[in-house]
Amino acid sequence: MGRPKNFEPEAVVADAMEAFWTNGYAGTSPADLAEATGVAKGSLYHSFGSKRELFGKALDLYDRVGAEVTEDYLSRPGTAKECIRAYLLHLVEMDLAGPVKRGCLVVNTTLELAGRDEEATKAVRRIAQRGIDLLAERIERGQRDGDVAADVDAMAVARFLMNTIGGLRVMARGFDGPVLRQVIDTALAVF
């Protein structure tokens, strides 16, 4: 049974995001989306266009929520390393706590579609760049506060950390917490 016509579009996008995150773009059929959202396929397409458009909205939602979490952790009191470590630990713990080890929607999308799908490639680059920028800003703040050396290249370290995040999110699908925490500590030793 579909949702009434007055369904909340943001809730539908959130439900679709969960389906895409768990099954991937190709692995999520229109029937899966209808089941996950409680909205009939025809209503989904009438409201959101195509599966591809709904996927784009799901990536946008993932980006917004992820940026809020990132900003929250990076704006907390403490040194740059302490804040970034807490953020990375949060990501790992979130991945490990789920009943299904699904990693990161952006990383999964990169592996599945980037380089073959122009829209997906642009989306994952945009999302990753936002994370890089937030990390670089926090490292620069650490430099101003005196807890990060002035000669550290904040952007280079932020890119390295984003690469580490991607790797952690993949590794969380098959490794346990102690291994992932060791990777975090090793990554943070670069600055």
Dist CA 165 CA 161 (whole Å): 6
pLDDT of residue 1: 45
Q: Are 156 and 189 in contact (CB under 8 A)?
A: no
3-state secondary structure of 189: coil
Q: How many CB atoms lie within 10 A of CB 179?
A: 13
Burial 139-149 (b: 16+ CB within 10 A, else e): bbbbbeeeebe
The predicted pLDDT at position 5 comes to 55
User: What pLDDT shows up at residue 6?
Assistant: 65
H or E element at residue 169: helix 154-171
Give the start-to-end residue ranges of the domains of the chain: 58-189
Give per-10-residue mean pLDDT for the chain (191 aa).
66 97 96 94 90 96 97 98 98 91 94 93 96 98 98 98 97 95 97 94
Residue 55's nearest CA partner among 8, 131, 5, 112 is: 112
Indicate whether this model's pTM tops 0.75. Answer: yes
Rounded Cα distance, 175 and 130, in Å = 27
> In terms of CATH architecture, what is 58-189?
Orthogonal Bundle (1.10)
Q: How many CA atoms, within 13 angstroms, populate the side-chain half-sphere of residue 6?
A: 0
* Helices 51-74 & 105-112 angle (0-180, nearest 10): 140
Per-residue confidence (pLDDT) for residue 17, from 0 to 100: 97
Q: Which of 146, 130, 138, 127 is nearest to 188 (CA)?
A: 138
Tokens at 106, concatenated: 């952006």
